[in-house]
Structure 1
Amino acid sequence: MHPLILIPARMASMRLPGKPLAEIAGKPMIVQVAERALEADCGLVAVATDDARVFDAVTDAGVRAVMTRDDHASGSDRISEAAGMVDPDRLHDVIINVQGDLPTIDAASIRASIEPLADTACDIATLGAEISDEREKTNPNVVKIVGTPLGATLLRALYFTRATAPWGEGPLYHHIGLYAYRRAALERFVALPPSQLETREKLEQLRALEAGMAIHVAIIDTVPLGVDTQADLERARAILAT
């Protein structure tokens, strides 16, 4: 496999305006995320944005960036466009989408995201972690994976939901929104219209499942901090200041 890591970034966050440029440990958050991706050392890294301020901050830090259209509905659409800009000769057969608000993600987790693609039956790979906090099991903001085991740390996803699922005794898994796509799978995915369950649950990955695409989940030990609010930002600053 020849991965390309793309990090979508937009300034129009509703809960934390200007989020990509929020300062964390002396650097913009988007630069912190790019540095984590570079540390993974598993492929070329580029930031995909529609804002010149983000583009300048990233390139000033010595990281590649590309300017995409400003009308994309999702990060998946943005990285699909960016893949054609960064790699027009299609030398990279795997596209890793690292969200631009994960400044504390570790390199090992990014590398783990491509491991399920060793199975040719897998179209899209993603990450999960067992839920240990009882409050998260009923929190609709924590997306759960319903899956069938393929190995000790590998699931085939059957469903993703905001509800507490599956029912009964056994572990629940928190979905971590980092994806590794086979390039053809990404292109197919973004060409599909939003699906019924995707619209109902507000979970984009359900579109792929409804279309019959296979999503496999690598189970890792920790959930990286996603920065959505000012409180999250302060937590990320504390973590990366140490």
Structure 2
Amino acid sequence: MKAAIIIPARYASTRLPGKPLLTRTGKPLIQHVYENALQVKKAASVIVATDDNRIFDAVTGFGGKAVMTSTAHETGSARIAEAASAINADIIVNIQGDEPEIEPHHIERLIALQQTAGAFASTLACPFPADATAGPGSPEDPSAVKAILGAVISDDAYWARYFTRHQAVWPRDAMGRIERPQDYYLHIGVYAFSKASLMDFAAAPQGALEKIERLEQLRILERGGKIAIGLIPHAAPGIDTPEDYEAFVRRVGKGAA
């Protein structure tokens, strides 16, 4: 089965405007993401889908492939669906444009899971760090989406039961206190779809739970679709804030030293 990676990228960002084009590492952030994606052996092609000419020019300027998409899209999935309509591929992988350190072998695992599970879509999750007992980055953080695992598919792969911003499951005996963060699973926002399921998903209206939680993957579950979750040991840090980017610049500098 032929797989393609599409990276949605937009210029506007509430917390970090112009994020894809930040260059303090010596290259645009989107180039880090693109070059990392090129290392995924199971992917036949990598494409950036954007609605901004500056991003398009930056990607083609470093030799990457990019396509222009509508400015009306409200989600990355809708953007990649437009781009995917012109691509000859069986599996479409959505990697966010602010994930420059996601490990290629984790994407290999994601593609393999989608090939074998027969799911509407596949995604990844990992245990929360053992020291994440409270505050940002812990299971009580609404920005850290929790994956609730269901039935076992195979080793370290499960059907998704639910995704939520709430602290779930609730430790009743501990009166809600998080004693073992590693018993909770952090959802990692990468997806693999069949081309047909991506088109179906993008065309479907939002569901009630999706509107409440602002989690588009709930649209799949609400419509009776199955999502396979592959567990990986840890999450790569994404870039959401100026502080995240500063930390990334420091990590890149250390790697070059």
What TM-score do you get using the length of structure 2 for normalisation?
Answer: 0.89
Task: Give the letter for the 1:95 counterpart.
Answer: I
Separation in 2, partners of 1:76, 1:140: 21
**Matched residue count:** 238
Map 1:146-185 to 2 at 5 A.
Answer: 146-148=148-150, 149-168=152-171, 171-185=183-197
Report the more deviating stretch, 111-120 or 33-42: 111-120
Separation in 2, partners of 1:21, 1:161: 31
Q: Is 2:198 aligned against 1:186? A: yes
Q: Which residue matches 2:177?
A: none
Q: Which residue matches 2:133?
A: 134
Question: Post-superposition shift, 1:236?
Answer: 1.2
Question: Post-superposition shift, 1:235?
Answer: 1.2
Separation in 1, partners of 2:112, 2:226: 14
Separation in 1, partners of 2:194, 2:85: 14
Secondary structure of the corresponding residue to residue 27 of structure 1: coil
Separation in 2, partners of 1:26, 1:123: 39
Gaps of 5+ in 1: none
CA contact (8 A) 1:46 1:63 kept: yes
What TM-score do you get using the length of structure 1 for normalisation?
Answer: 0.94
CA contact (8 A) 1:116 1:216 kept: yes
Q: Is 2:235 aligned against 1:223? A: yes
Q: Percent identity?
A: 42
Map 1:96-115 to 2 at 5 A.
Answer: 96-115=93-112
1:121 counterpart (113, 118, 122): 118
- 1:169-223 alpha-carbon deviations (Å, 9 max, x no partner): 8811000000000111101101111110001011010001101111001111111
Secondary structure of the corresponding residue to residue 58 of structure 1: helix
Per the alignment, do residues 198 and 96 of structure 1 end up closer, same or farther by CA in structure 2, a change over 3 Å counting? same
Map 1:1-242 to 2 at 5 A.
Answer: 1-43=1-43, 44-85=45-86, 87=87, 91-132=88-129, 133-135=132-134, 136-148=138-150, 149-168=152-171, 171-241=183-253, 242=255
Task: Give the letter for the 1:239 counterpart.
Answer: R
Secondary structure of the corresponding residue to residue 216 of structure 1: strand
Superposition CA RMSD, Å: 1.4
Question: Post-superposition shift, 1:120?
Answer: 4.6
Separation in 1, partners of 2:5, 2:214: 25
Gaps of 5+ in 2: 172-179
CA contact (8 A) 1:34 1:45 kept: yes
